[in-house]
Structure 1
């Protein structure tokens, strides 16, 4: 059944237009399953026949984007547990991994992938081939593509990366949505409307967008800048008498607009509005082989802050609604396709990337020496961190052993949340011979 409004039931554009939605119970509040720290048990669970209901539904979602856009952070927030590595450095995720969300009769399979990068950059930084190939492989198996953009990155947020555009152009038949991440870090929220136009080429769900610039009469006289009028909001926290925009704007509707939305949108006095049917066409490529800056075939747009969970619930509800009848691929108790050892190694690597400077963490070789269950159900892990230089040994240990202790403590806390048991994690720094 088509939605009452052409932007869908829960997209960011609905909120901007002031189209309120009923408040529903938060899906993110449910307790996700834990992961067994015994590899054999995890393997057995992954091999179990799916316990699907009579009329199961499924959706495979490939999350793609530039390095460090927040793909793993978003995946972790959707899953409810931190099973994918996260850091502020690029290429934290080294290979694709699956996350599984099972709600009632629906199963979402989240394909967390490395940031899209070019072969030239991969060769320059000595990166694994998986960082180039895995995002493309994930696209082949996806029912929906989620393109994540870091809007706080000033040099990258005005256009999609060439690798993302190439990926979308190669699989134009797969529905795609745009998710604008880290909106909480964007100082001038009014820029979001301009970014929407740039990243979509002014077309969403086959409709052209008409965006009017803010009037000079509504500039902040103290700063001579447009008022920050677009808070990162969801239908739940949008004002009842309007949407997220506040002053200095108006809405226009083009011919053929859905009149069921007109009253609410026009009352809110907003910048974004006015639509007309866009011509559906294949992606245009220039003579030099470069693709345009935006993608005009997105079905929906979402704005969120994956790190603190803001508006992620709205996105999750949308994904659940997009699922189609189909067989489940995993048992409902499966949270991820990764082994417990892979989860452990990834989380530790994420911490190393976070706290070590420049290229140093990329040169650390991890070697698990002990993985043992104690008499009270606690898990003891001993992992050796092998580095090629003596200076790296001192750097990793830190003054008085503070840095390696911090990595062990924080990684251990995150592993407790994944495995739901006490973790005794010991890290030993050694010189690689």
Structure 2
């Protein structure tokens, strides 16, 4: 349903006499609101709310089509949760919605109910008349024609009236930037999925190397104790004590893995609180004493907070699994440039970093350096045999 929809389209009329800069500040605010988020669902919500506010509409929606005649996601603004539940399932791709999903230009109507393709609404659906639809186009797609990533729908100007040429142009600008925001969010989520897959692989490797080997030793020791019970009870007691020790170590390893599998509550609690919680849990799960302190830390960009958390987890993993440390301290300190410095220090046996690197045992150091570099930070490591280890990561902040 292109812009040239017969009698139902808003007359173009003469160019608006408003200030040429009118709406630029509003568009800027809308774009900033979209760019602050990385999760796809939140980006869609911000696009929808921004479009509604920008054009002073009563209702707004953004639909992302799936490959089965429906919508993979459909976000609304201006409709209450109660109304949305009463409306029912997500709409299918039919009627006006279907036509819009096959257009690469805007659709502006005096009354959407009079459009040839209009097929009615569910009973609880609010009444709508003046209508403006704008596709969100992926202009970088490999196809010859731009691909429709979704469509922004607006209905009912507040206070009555129709959507204007100026409204259409503002929404076109917003939709172009919405395409970039949505593409970036999808790339971020894909990257996060790959990171999670890598984390699962690492944890599986840890389970095999640590827990599986301890359970194997536990089984052999228990078998030996069973054979010694009758002929050498004293030796059997020694073996059973070893069984108890191995079982306790295996339990510690499993607890540590469970902690790493728990999702970090960064968004809800912030980096300091999340780190404090994880250190507290690990302190209960291990014989080593763990402590955490934070000072002067401001809110950081989400990617930096996530990287700091993962590096802290990796450093704690090394300290608790490999160093034999009796004490591990984690500190998070703010910097004058609004950044932060993370330090994880242990009093374990330490190691020669060059020897470890030559032997091909990286202890996750390459992964930690990659995480730091990916968010513009730096990572340094200090260690020597018998001197413990210090892992330090600094990020620049916003």
TM-score when normalising by structure 2 = 0.23
Structure with the bigger percentage of helix: 2
- Bigger relative contact order (CA 8 A; separation at least 6): 1
Largest Rg, 1 or 2: 2
TM-score when normalising by structure 1 = 0.21
